[in-house]
Structure 1
Amino acid sequence: MSDLRLRLGQNLGLLLAIGLFLLFWLVYNGLHPRGFSTAVLIQNANESFVIGAVAMAQTVPVLAGGLDLSVGSVMTLVNCLASLTVSGTPTQMLFGIVLCLATGAAAGWLNGAIVVYGRIQPIIATLASGAVYIGLALFMRPTPGGEIDDDLAWAMTNDITEFCATFGLFDDGEAAWLQPIGWIPMPVVVMLALIFLVWIPFRNSVTGRGVYAIGSSEAAAYMSGVRIDRCKIAAFTLAGFFAGAGGLYLALQTSSGNADVPQAGGYTLNSIAAVVIGGTSLMGGSGGAICSLIGAMVIRAISFNFRIFDIAPLLQPLFEGIVLLGAVSIGAARVFRVKNRLELLG
């Protein structure tokens, strides 16, 4: 019983985020004329993917005790690059996708190298590098535009059935096996692939455990033999990869590229909010990318309800701020409770 109570206490932030998401999402679908339909689910998944990927990107440096203010800029840079490269023959599109993801990872690696070898605080280093990435994005796309392969964009922003039909992966007589899973949106499939093929292996690796150790206590991690430099660079590299995935998907969703500076800043701030709402500590050492993904879904679910209740869009930051403040307050209450217990023991 005490073990269960301990686990519930450790995951209180995540449980709160899941509860908030279910509340806002169920209310939205319950009042929507086409609520709980596949079309609404696909729309929700498309609108949530990018902020979810950017929130996951923000999480990894935060776990190491840092903060990456360039995730929105990296997302924008890759979005503009995708509008130039993800078109043409299948080979050319595959090359463009790999190039986009590699560019995101390279931008993250550069952030890590500046932090580690330049001995600059992450918040300052990434603020500067983010400005550089936005400049490169503006160089590539002074005005919104570009072209993404129509079939690829359509397939990746619909469900599994449409994806298979678009690329001719089954004949008419062989589509029955798709019925149980055909309704699942492709953004969900891609996000699950990122979680199971990238995040979970990283979290369970020696480097991933080192990132958590650094966030808990860098001095203790160093004394334990953790390779501090390698872990920090790996954390920022993975952050760039996740941000690049968000930028690539944004290009598929909009079929264009746009070096939108306010949008980049907005995604960066929302990524920090998603990290906090998901229960990941900004001090590092606890939480995870899945927690932040749930936090991002809470933010999106709030925005969904504005369409139902016809509330002025300018009030959206107010409600998001209230939710964020509530999440932070609960986390602070846990800290004070631990402090009071320590005082009693002393």
Structure 2
Amino acid sequence: MSSLCQKILRNRGFTGALVLFLVLFLGYHVLHPRGFSTAVFIQNSNESVAIAFVAMAQTVPVLMGGLDLSVGAVMTLTSCIASVVVTGTPLQMMLGMLLTLACGAGFGLMNGLIVVYGRIQPIIATLATGAIAIGLALVIRPSPGGDIDPDLNWALTNSVWDLVDTFGGNPDAAWLAPVANLPVPLLILVTVAFGVWLPFKRTVTGRTVYSIGSSESSAFMSGLPIARAKIAAFTLAGFFASCGGLYLAIQTSSGNADVTQAGAYTLNSIAAVVLGGTSLLGGIGGAIGSLIGALILRVISFYFRILSIDPLLQPLIEGMVLLVAVSLGALRTFRIKNKLELFR
């Protein structure tokens, strides 16, 4: 058997998610009145970035066999923070973006410390800290608002051509032509996913995260840094959630402490994780797969628009997709002969 076939078999969940996404995405553009155009591609990318980042944030705790119910709230909190600090001169805006990401990572670090040293189950700890995040967001933004620089908004929510043109470059340069029509939101997403997640996954800490999900007792007996891995996992989750919050603030030019939005993003992140091939039991999957799972959820919502599906039916369809996704994630339990393996 070739090495490619072996990789596909080892990553059946991710492969299935990728194929499903490609089929749905191509079908969507076939049915779309404007077909596959740069404008439609940019619009699709803008609508997908926040949920993709939150799905990646959810992935890391799930790989350890837990859930982070605060990711949507952290995204909302950092969106509100960004709406206040990402303004002024280019240097001030850069510092504001760094501060926003640091706040998200810091909140994730707090989650990790509570779980590790407070010995509280992640789902309980993050349920409480999520409420704290929403409370802080309401203090920062009692009502929606913000003052994001319009040039920054335009440059980061359009094509590479627009990005270069906005900041004084030559958008018609020959070297830029191959990528000029690519959406900047998609490039941001891919850069963070491959620049942050893949290096982390290959570290001892990253491998320990997978080991904890497979069998925490075995990881402990092997001398792996379990406490460090758990803290790092929640910190990374907070960072990814803040990436989503920062982009959402730039995209909308505002911050909004919306409780309903936070809850919806958290629930959809769980569905995206499962759709992307990550097991809710831990130890199997990855953030790239969750990114694909998030894109699948978004493409399904795109179909609602072009097929003019009754808004009253949309929650029903989304709920059925969520149910199917979680059911697929639970199939692993039926393949385990010794049920004690589920509690390792």
In structure 1, the gaps of 5 or more residues are 341-346
- CA distances 1:121-156 after superposition (whole Å, capped 9, x unpaired): 000000000000100000000000011011011000
Mapped to 2, the partners of 1:190 and 1:92 lie a distance apart of: 20
Cα deviations by residue, 1:217-270 (Å, 9 ceiling, x for unpaired): 111001111111110000000000000000000001100000000000000000
SS of alignment partner, residue 314 of structure 1: coil
Correspondence 1:285 to 2:286? no
Question: Which amino acid in structure 2 is aligned with residue 259 of structure 1?
Answer: A
SS in 2 for 1:313: coil
1:344 alignment partner in structure 2: none
Which residue is 1:135 aligned to? 135
Q: What is the aligned partner in structure 1 of residue 311 from structure 2?
A: 313
Letter in 2 for 1:128: A
Report if the CA contact (8 A) 2:61-2:68 is conserved: yes
Contact 2:111/2:126 (CA < 8 Å) preserved in 1? yes
What is the deviation of 1:335?
4.1
In the other structure, the counterpart of 2:342 is: none
Displacement after TM superposition at 1:331 (Å): 4.2
* Residue identity matched to 1:68: D
Using the size of structure 1 for normalisation, the TM-score is: 0.94
Gaps of at least 5 residues in structure 2 are: 339-344
Name the residue aligned to 2:242.
244
Hey, what's the Cα distance between the residues in 1 that align with 2:29 and 2:110? Answer: 42
Deviation sequence 1:292-315 (CA, Å, 0-9, x none) = 000000000000001111011232
Which of 259, 262, 267 is matched with 1:261 structurally?
A: 259
1:23 is displaced (CA, Å) by: 2.3
Between the aligned partners of 1:58 and 1:327, the Cα distance in structure 2 is: 15
Contact 2:278/2:329 (CA < 8 Å) preserved in 1? no
Instruction: Indicate if the aligned counterparts of 1:146 and 1:256 stay in contact, CA closer than 8 A.
Output: yes
Matched, 1:31 2:31: yes
Distance (whole Å) between structure 2 residues aligned to residue 38 and residue 135 of structure 1: 39
Q: Give the TM-score, by structure 2 length.
A: 0.94
* 2:59 is aligned with 1:40: no
Say whether the 8 Å CA contact 2:274–2:328 is kept in structure 1: no
Encode CA deviations 1:137-188: one digit per residue, 9 max, x unaligned: 0000000001101101100000111000000122x7x622211111110111
Q: Which sits farther off after the overlay, 102-111 or 8-17?
A: 8-17
Q: Which amino acid aligns with 1:279?
A: G
Q: Structure 1 85/304 Cα, relative in aligned 2: closer, same or farther at 3 Å? A: same
CA drift at 1:10: 3.2
Distance 1:17 1:320 in 2: 17
Match of 2:166 in 1: 166
What residue identity is the alignment partner of 1:221?
Answer: A
Distance 1:329 1:133 in 2: 30
State the shift of 1:87 in Å.
Answer: 0.8
Give, in whole Å, the separation in 1 of the partners of 2:302 and 2:43.
Answer: 10
Shift of 1:12: 2.2
Over the matched positions of the two proteins, sequence identity in percent amounts to: 65
> What residue is the counterpart of 1:204 in the other structure?
202
**Alignment correspondent of 1:153:** 153
Structure 2 Cα separation of the partners of residues 5 and 252 of structure 1: 42
RMSD, aligned α-carbons = 1.7
Q: Paired residues, what number?
A: 338
Distance 2:58 2:77 in 1: 16
